[in-house]
Chain A
Amino acid sequence: MKLKKRSSYYLANIAVFILLSVIFIIPFIYILLMAAKSSKEAALLQFSLPSQFLFLENLKAVIVFGDYRMFRALLNSTLLTVGSVALIVVFAALFAFVSQRKKDKLASVLMSLLMIGLMIPPAVVPTIFLLRSLKIYKTMFGMIMIDVALFMPFATMIFRTAMSTIPRDLDEASFIDGATPLTIFFSVILPLLKPAIVTVVVTTSVNIFNDFVGPLYFLPGAKNITAPLTLYSFISQFSTQWNLLFANVVVVSVIPLIIFIFFQRQLVSGMMGGAVKG
Chain B
Amino acid sequence: MKKNTIQKGLLKTYPNWFYLPAVITFAIFFVIPTISAFYFSLTRWTLFDATFIGFDNYVSFLSDPMLSIGLKNTFIYAILTSGLKTVLALPLAVMLTSNIRFKGFYRSIVFFPVLVSTIAVGITFSILMQPNSGLINVVLGSIGLGQPDWLGNPKLALYSVVFVDVWKGIGIATVIYMAGILAIPNDYFDAMKLEGGFWIRFRHVIIPLVRNSTFTIILLSFIGGLRSFDLIWAMTGGGPGFASDVLTSVIYKQYQAGFYGLSTAGNVILFIMVTVLIFPLRRFFNSREIEL
Contact = CB atoms under 8 A, between A and B. Distances in A.
Contacts of B10: 171-172, 175
A145 B29 contact: yes
Contacts of B226: 121
Interface stretch (A14-22, A51-59, A64-72): A14-22
Given A27-B124, A102-B14, A117 B119 contact: no
B116 A121 contact: no
A181 interface: yes
Interface in A211-239: 212-213, 216-217, 227-228, 231-232, 235
Nearest to B177: A275
B22 A91 contact: yes
B117 A118 contact: no
Contacts of B16: 98, 106
B33 A126 contact: yes
Chain B contact surface mostly: helix
B130 A118 contact: no
Interface in B14-46: 14-16, 18-19, 21-23, 25-26, 28-34, 36-37, 40, 45
Given A94-B22, A149-B30, A176-B6, A227 B117 contact: yes
Contacts of B1: 176
A127 interface: yes
B160 interface: no
Given A121-B274, A149-B30, A210-B117, A47 B18 contact: no
Given A121-B248, A185-B18, A228-B119, A45 B127 contact: yes
Interface in A79-97: 87, 90-92, 94-95, 97
Interface string A119-140: 1111111111110100000000
Given A30-B135, A102-B14, A123 B33 contact: yes
Interface string B217-242: 00000010011011000100000000
Interface in A12-36: 13, 16-17, 20-21, 23-28, 30-31, 34
A228 B274 CA distance: 27
Given A95-B22, A120-B274, A122-B30, A21 B175 contact: no
A124 B271 CA distance: 12
Given A31-B124, A125-B264, A25 B109 contact: yes
A184 to B, nearest CB: 6
Nearest to A249: B120
Interface in A184-202: 184-185
A98 B18 contact: yes
Nearest to A148: B25
Interface residues of A, number: 89
B264 A149 contact: no
Interface residues on B, range: 35 or more
A25 B36 CA distance: 46
Contacts of B114: 206
Interface string B152-188: 0000000000000001000000011011101100000
B264 A175 contact: no
Given A91-B21, A272-B182, A125 B260 contact: yes
B191 interface: no
A46 interface: yes
Contact of A276 (B179, B223, B229): B179
Nearest to B282: A119
Interface in A226-278: 227-228, 231-232, 235, 242, 245-246, 249, 252-253, 256-257, 260, 268, 271-272, 275-276, 278
B234 to A, nearest CB: 8
B13 interface: yes
A166 interface: no
Contacts of A216: 252
B145 interface: no
A87 B22 CA distance: 9
Interface centre among A17, A25, A120, A252, by most B CB within 10 Å? A120
Given A13-B101, A98-B15, A121-B248, 10 more contacts: A21-B109, A24-B110, A45-B130, A45-B133, A87-B25, A119-B275, A120-B34, A123-B33, A126-B267, A276-B183
Interface of A: 13, 16-17, 20-21, 23-28, 30-31, 34, 44-47, 87, 90-92, 94-95, 97-99, 101-102, 106, 110, 113-114, 117-130, 132, 145-146, 148-150, 152-153, 156, 171-172, 175-176, 181, 184-185, 206, 210, 212-213, 216-217, 227-228, 231-232, 235, 242, 245-246, 249, 252-253, 256-257, 260, 268, 271-272, 275-276, 278
20 contacts: A20-B109, A45-B130, A46-B135, A94-B19, A123-B33, A125-B45, A129-B47, A130-B28, A130-B36, A132-B47, A149-B29, A176-B1, A212-B119, A212-B230, A228-B118, A246-B124, A271-B179, A275-B176, A275-B216, A278-B216
